[in-house]
Amino acid sequence: MRKKTAFYAEGAYILGILLLALGTALITKAGFGLSMIVAPAYLLHLFVSETLPFFSFGMAEYVFQALIILLLCLLLRRFRVSYLLSFATAVIYGFTLDGMAALTSLLPGEGIPARIGFYAAGTILATLGVALLFHTYLPPEAYELFVRELASARGWKLSACKMVYDLSSLALAILLSFLFFGRLEAIRIGTFVNAVLNGLLIGFFGKGLERLFSFRDGLPLRRFFEK
């Protein structure tokens, strides 16, 4: 049997955030619609930046995720330090997303073939990034935290809770689109393609990573992040 290569959880966290941010930036550049998870934050960015030009997509991400964490605290009537750590991850991701957006803005190509390429590459990179983040003990973003904590507290199936959350995000994005702009924004054909493919690709990449690598801790920090 082939010996697996060691892959440190901390490296998976860093690389996962980088790939997720780059993938999201490429999908945004493609213009075929964002995933239903990030669409509400993107709409917040579009609306607020009309008045405050410095309000970036990355800033909207961690502001929106802070609201999600607040909602989680209200629903569960409790607060944990780990929630703050998830917000820290959201801030790191937000700054990384803005950096990747600046880099991808330099890429040439505005025609349909180029946009399809951006969308395909972005989807692959983003789902690989999520698969990597599933192999680290470091705190997840608020989206994953909300689903995990709510399902655990209520005794719900994680998959069912995730589906309800995704559909709620889609409904919120549609509502914000018409509330802010009077038309549908950020929700396009790519949104629904992502809804179908993301789970399959994350599972595919997750199994591939586990076949190739042995994930282990590089630093003795796990006890500080686990319950």
DSSP H or E segment with residue 57: helix 57-76
Q: Are 41 and 64 in contact (CB under 8 A)?
A: yes
Indicate whether 218 belongs to any domain.
no
Whether 159 is in a domain gets the answer yes
214: left (phi over 0), alpha (psi -120 to 50) or beta: beta
pTM of this structure: 0.91
Does residue 9 fall inside a structural domain? no
In a domain? residue 79: yes
Instruction: Report if residue 219 sits inside a domain.
Output: no
> Is 103 a member of any domain?
yes
Residue 160: domain span: 14-213
Residue 220 inside a domain? The answer is no
Report the distance separating Cα 217 and Cα 221, nearest Å.
Answer: 8
- Give the Cα separation of 146 and 143 in Å (integer): 5
The total number of structural domains in the chain stands at 1
Residue 6 lies in a domain: no
pLDDT string in tens for the chain (227-residue length): 567 898 999 999 999 999 999 999 999 999 999 999 999 999 999 999 999 999 999 999 999 999 999 999 999 999 988 899 999 999 999 999 999 999 999 998 889 999 999 999 999 999 999 999 989 999 989 998 998 899 889 898 877 888 889 889 999 999 999 999 999 999 999 999 988 888 889 889 999 999 999 999 998 888 877 75
